[in-house]
Amino acid sequence: MSRTFEENLALYAKLAVTEGVALAPGQELLVFAELTSAPLARLIAREAYRQGAKNVEVLYTDPDLTLARYEDGSDEAVEYAPQWLIDGVANAHRENAARLGILSSDPALLSSVVPERVATQSKAQGAARRIISEIITGFEINWSLIGAASPAWASRVFPNLPTDEAERRLWDAIFLTSRIHEADPVAAWRTHSENLEARVTMLDEMKLDALHFRGPGTDLRVGLADGHVWAGGRGRARNGILCSPNIPTEEVFCMPHRDRVDGVVSSTMPLSLRGQIIDGIQVEFVNGAAVNVRAKQGEEAFAKLIATDESANRLGEVALVPHSSKVGQSGVLFLNTLYDENAASHIAFGASYGENLSGYDTMSPEERVAKGANDSIVHVDWMIGSGQVDVDGVLRDGSVVPLMRAGEWV
Amino acid sequence: MSRTFEENLALYAKLAVTEGVALAPGQELLVFAELTSAPLARLIAREAYRQGAKNVEVLYTDPDLTLARYEDGSDEAVEYAPQWLIDGVANAHRENAARLGILSSDPALLSSVVPERVATQSKAQGAARRIISEIITGFEINWSLIGAASPAWASRVFPNLPTDEAERRLWDAIFLTSRIHEADPVAAWRTHSENLEARVTMLDEMKLDALHFRGPGTDLRVGLADGHVWAGGRGRARNGILCSPNIPTEEVFCMPHRDRVDGVVSSTMPLSLRGQIIDGIQVEFVNGAAVNVRAKQGEEAFAKLIATDESANRLGEVALVPHSSKVGQSGVLFLNTLYDENAASHIAFGASYGENLSGYDTMSPEERVAKGANDSIVHVDWMIGSGQVDVDGVLRDGSVVPLMRAGEWV
> Quick one: pLDDT at residue B154?
98
Nearest to A55 by CA among B77, B398, B193: B77
Average pLDDT score over residue span B250-272: 96
Helix (H, G, I), strand (E, B) or coil at A26: coil
In order of A134, A225, A347, A406, B139, the CA distances from A259 in angstroms are 22, 9, 15, 28, 56
Q: List the one residue out of B217, B259, B287, B253 whose CA is nearest residue B381.
A: B253
Cβ-contact A71, A110 below 8 angstroms: no
Chain A residues inside the 8 Å CB shell of B56: 65, 68-69
pLDDT mean over B323-344: 92
Q: Convert the pLDDT of each residue in A249-296 to its tens digit.
A: 999 999 999 999 999 999 999 988 878 889 999 999 999 999 999 999
Q: What is the three-class DSSP state of B392?
A: strand
- Verify cis geometry, omega within 30 degrees of 0, for the bond prior to B245: no
Lowest mean pLDDT, pick from A18-22, A56-60, B130-134 = B130-134
Is the pLDDT at B380 greater than 80? The verdict is: yes
Over residues A286-340, the pLDDT tens digits come to 999 999 999 999 999 899 889 989 999 999 999 999 998 999 989 899 999 899 9
Residue pair B278/B349 in contact (Cβ under 8 Å)? The answer is no
Query: Residue B74 and residue A243: Cα distance in Å, rounded?
Result: 23
Judged by average pLDDT, the poorest of B127-131, B187-191, B271-275 is B271-275
At residue A138, the pLDDT reads: 86
CB contact at 8 A, B400 and B410: no
Question: What average pLDDT does this structure show over B280-284?
Answer: 97
pTM of the model: 0.90
Closest CA to B90 of B128, B42, B146: B128
Partner residue facing A42 (CB), from B26, B54, B64: B64
Kindly report the number of other CB atoms within 10 A of residue B358's CB atom. 15
Alpha-carbon Rg for chain A, nearest whole angstrom, is 20
- Report the distance separating Cα A99 and Cα A96, nearest Å: 10
ipTM for this model: 0.89
Q: B17 vs chain A: nearest CA distance in angstroms? A: 15
Mutation target vs A (from B84, B89, B132; most A CBs, 10 A cutoff): B84
Q: What is the pLDDT of residue B84?
A: 98
> What integer best gives the mean pLDDT of chain B?
96
pLDDT(A115) > 90:
no
Q: Calculate mean pLDDT across residues A157-170.
A: 97
Best residue in B31, B49, B86 to probe A by mutation, most A CBs within 10 Å? B49
Local confidence band at A125 (pLDDT 50, 70, 90 cut-offs): very high
Q: What mean pLDDT is predicted for residues A160-183? A: 97
Task: Tell me the C-alpha to C-alpha distance, in Å, between residue B197 and each of B23, B190, B215, B234.
Answer: 21, 10, 27, 8
Length, in residues, of chain B? 410
Average pLDDT over residues A201-230: 97
User: What's the whole-number mean pLDDT along residues B354-372?
Assistant: 95
The whole-angstrom distance between B405's CA and the closest CA on chain A is 49
Amino acid of residue A248: P
| Residue A1 scores a pLDDT above 70 | no
Q: Which CATH number fits domain B5-177: 3.40.1830.10, 3.40.50.1000, 3.30.1280.10, 3.40.1280.10?
A: 3.40.1830.10
In this prediction, residue B1 has a pLDDT band, given cuts at 50, 70 and 90, of low
Task: Find the mean pLDDT for residues A140-148.
Answer: 98
Q: Collect all residues from B whose CB is shorter than 8 A from any CB in A.
A: 26, 28, 35, 38, 41-42, 45-46, 49-50, 52-60, 62, 64-65, 68-69, 71-74, 76-77, 80, 82, 84-85, 87-89, 91-92, 95, 97
What residue ranges do the domains of chain B occupy? Answer: 5-177, 207-230+251-409
Contact by Cβ (8 Å): A330, A176? yes
* Contact assignment for A69 to B46 by CB distance below 8 Å: no
Whether residue A347 contacts residue A381, with contact meaning beta carbons closer than 8 Å, is answered with yes
Angle at A393 between CA A391 and CA A395, to 5 degrees: 160
Nearest CA to B40 out of B75, B13, B8, B7 is that of: B13
Q: Nearest to residue B358, comparing CAs of B368, B366, B349, B350? A: B368
At B142-181, the pLDDT tens digits run 999 999 999 999 999 999 999 999 999 999 999 999 999 9
* Nearest-by-CA chain A residue for B25: A74
Coil, strand or helix at A91: helix
